[in-house]
Amino acid sequence: MTDIIRMLGISGSLRAGSYNTALLRAATELLPEGMTLDIYNLAPIPLYNEDIRAQGDPASVQEFRTRIADADALVIATPEYNYSIPGVLKNAIDWASRPPTPPLPGKPVAIMGASPGGFGTVRSQMHLKYLCADLNMYPLNRPNVLVSHCQEKFDPAGRLVDEETSEMIRKMLVALAGWVRRLQTTPDE
């Protein structure tokens, strides 16, 4: 068991002004002691193509898989696109899911999301949890971080200014630390 819990943050949005990436940036400032969070940029990952994979994973995919493998947990901030997760995120997950030695099975993951609408990405988060079942990942079920009306909760520079949301993220990170420790003491058979 490592003392420090090293997390990899993944945003499902490539947009410079993304609220979901901003949510991850906020999480880096709300970390409990003993946790680190690096944000990974999915932009260099190409569209999944089995022909490309047959020639060996592209360097960006290799790096992504290594960064997942090296992390004690993932924190995914997903937008909601048409009631589901964006293709960018699904595409990256598809690359990471392929053999040999896929890094996702057994990985604890916390999911959060921000949307300008009233539902705070609940539908895309449920879809992501559905994928986690197939991937044999271990999503944290509570507390939920569902950030609705997100345009009111960030300032123009993309800094989270809503204390209730900050508190939800803090609680989620503390719960994730407990979840990681629990899974580390009960490893897979």
- Interface residue with ligand FMN, options 32, 46, 62, 83 (CB under 6 A): 83
Candidate segments 2-10, 24-32, 75-83, 103-111, binder of ligand FMN by CB under 6 A:
75-83
With b meaning 16 or more CB within 10 Å and e meaning fewer, what string describes 137-158?
Answer: bbbbeebbbbbbebeebbeeee
Inter-residue contact 170 to 30 (CB < 8 Å)? yes
- Interface residue with ligand FMN, options 13, 27, 135, 160 (CB under 6 A): 13
Candidate segments 11-19, 60-68, 92-100, 162-170, binder of ligand FMN by CB under 6 A:
11-19
Q: E strands, 12-90, where?
A: 35-40, 73-77
Asked if 155 is part of the footprint of ligand FMN (rule: CB under 6 A), the reply reads: no
Asked if 80 is part of the footprint of ligand FMN (rule: CB under 6 A), the reply reads: yes
Candidate segments 16-24, 45-53, 65-73, 170-178, binder of ligand FMN by CB under 6 A:
16-24
The residue written with tokens 């490309």 in the block is 52
Asked if 81 is part of the footprint of ligand FMN (rule: CB under 6 A), the reply reads: yes
Closer to ligand FMN by CB, 121 or 179: give it. 121
Inter-residue contact 103 to 75 (CB < 8 Å)? no
Closer to ligand FMN by CB, 57 or 162: give it. 162
Candidate segments 34-42, 78-86, 156-164, 171-179, binder of ligand FMN by CB under 6 A:
78-86
Closest CB 113 distance from ligand FMN, rounded Å: 8
CA dihedral 5, 9, 63, 136 (to 10 degrees): 80
Helix (H) or strand (E) holding 114: strand 108-114
- Closest by Cα among 37, 47, 85, 41 to 63: 41
